[in-house]
Amino acid sequence: MAKIELKNLAHSYKPNPTQPSDYALKPMNMTWEQGGAYALLGPSGCGKTTLLNIVSGLVKPSQGQIFFDGKDVTALPTEQLNIAQVFQFPVIYDTMTVYQNLAFPLKNRHVPAAAIDARVKEVAKMLDLERDLTRKARGLTADMKQKISLGRGLVRADVGAILFDEPLTVIDPHMKWQLRAQLKRVHEQSNVTMVYVTHDQTEALTIADKVIVMYDGEVVQIGTPQELFERPAHTFVGYFIGSPGMNVIAAEVAGDVARIGPHQIALGRPVTAPAGAKKIELGIRPEFITLNGTADGIPVKVKRVEDTGRFQIARVELEGMPLAVIMPEDARIDGDVARLSVDQKHLHVYADGHLVEG
């Protein structure tokens, strides 16, 4: 098991980077505690794979250092790092059986046969592969092959960390849920440090204890799934996490009141935006807005209502700005105007994208 620290780490694929936009990873500091389960979450191109490849020694960073348990490993090649990796596509040997594939990383390290046998059976049990051990890998479905790939990543009990790069992308959606739960269980049993790259918020939130949200080469927030949901540090996090994401509304703020055009919303606490902020916005999740709950709510235009089967999403317009509102399945709105009210404790103020603490 390993504690991993990143110090002033940055990377540019350009030979002579001069400006921030030349960097795929902007300078960052981070600590991944021993035994923690972390997800690197963000949209395509935000730098997740670059960061993972640097930690696994496949890419050497332009700047900064990586420490495993306090030891500087920045210059070490992958083979000398005590890590396992699982990639997006299965990396297995088609001519071997499932058992031989699982045993391979241990055989390579000259682990005694009895210990190999015990560990392979243990991992096969975790992943529900016990009945398939004698089957040849060739001819198995893509799902099964990726399961074996996961098993190969998990089989070495002595690794300091396991790094996963979108390993469930090729997996059938139904099977994904099962594998996520299995991975979570495996992590709890093994207590190995796990870093998991994904652009799928559900995956990140179900697998990790701490989610690291990245945007444009930067870490914008590190938090538990609940923290990211309840207190997004940046409008991007609010928008990216949640379905639909957080509503972001242009506003003015003075003391404990926000103004949206001619309308006022009480903030419930005084908020002072930083001097010189160019853009003030309110953030409120669709879950924390009520329509027609009070007679003095702010009037909004109802554009349409979508039924998801479990709840409804009302698409409304406030002073020309689109908002989503989650309503119970049985709620009805008569007419095309509704009165909007918000749950004050979930109303956030943002200055130039960043959360302003109230």
Interface residues toward ligand ATP, by CB under 6 A = 13, 24, 42, 44-50, 199
What is the closest distance, in whole angstroms, from the C-beta atom of residue 50 to ligand ATP in the complex?
3
Given the complex with ligand ATP, which of 56 and 312 has the nearer CB atom? 56
Any idea of the CA torsion for 131, 136, 137, 138, to the nearest 10 degrees? -140
Rounded to the nearest 5°, which phi and psi values hold at 99? Answer: -60, -50
Task: State the Cα angle at 316 between 308 and 243, rounded to 5°.
Answer: 40
In the complex, minimum distance from the CB of residue 190 to ligand ATP, in angstroms, rounded to a whole number: 25
Nearer to ligand ATP, 42 or 151 (CB): 42
Supply the DSSP symbol for 262.
Answer: T
Let me know how long the chain is: 358
Name the minimum Å distance from CB 49 to ligand ATP.
3
Q: What's the CA gap between 171 and 50, in Å, rounded?
A: 23
Residue 6 vs residues 11, 54, 305: alpha-carbon distances, Å: 12, 10, 46
Give the integer Cα–Cα distance in Å for 19 and 86.
33
Compare residues 25 and 126 and give the one whose CB is closer to ligand ATP. 25
Between strands 289-291 and 280-284, the pairing is unpaired
Return the number of the residue (58 or 260) whose C-beta is nearest ligand ATP.
58
Nearest approach, Cβ of residue 17 and ligand ATP (Å): 12
Residue among 62 and 292 whose Cβ is closer to ligand ATP: 62
Instruction: Quote the least distance from Cβ 184 to ligand ATP, whole Å.
Output: 22
Helical ranges in 132-213 per DSSP H: 142-154, 173-190, 201-207
- Count of C-beta atoms within a 10 Å radius of residue 273: 16
CA–CA separation, 147 and 65 (whole Å): 33
Q: How far is the CB of 204 from ligand ATP (least distance, A)?
A: 12
71-72 vs 311-318, strand pairing mode:
unpaired
* Beta carbons of 326 and 312 less than 8 angstroms apart: yes
| Minimal distance, residue 54 CB to ligand ATP, in Å | 9
- Tokens 């940055």 correspond to 10
The minimum distance between CB 203 and ligand ATP, in angstroms, equals: 12
> By C-beta, is 13 or 269 nearer to ligand ATP?
13
Q: Parallel, antiparallel, or unpaired for β 218-223 and 263-266?
A: unpaired
Q: What angle do CA 207, 34, 221 make, to 5 degrees?
A: 55
Which one, 17 or 358, has the nearer CB to ligand ATP? 17
53 versus 101: smaller Cβ distance to ligand ATP: 53
Q: Which is nearer to ligand ATP, 42 or 242 (CB)?
A: 42
Pairwise CA distance, residues 315 & 323, whole Å:
6
| Least spacing, CB of residue 347 vs ligand ATP, in Å | 31
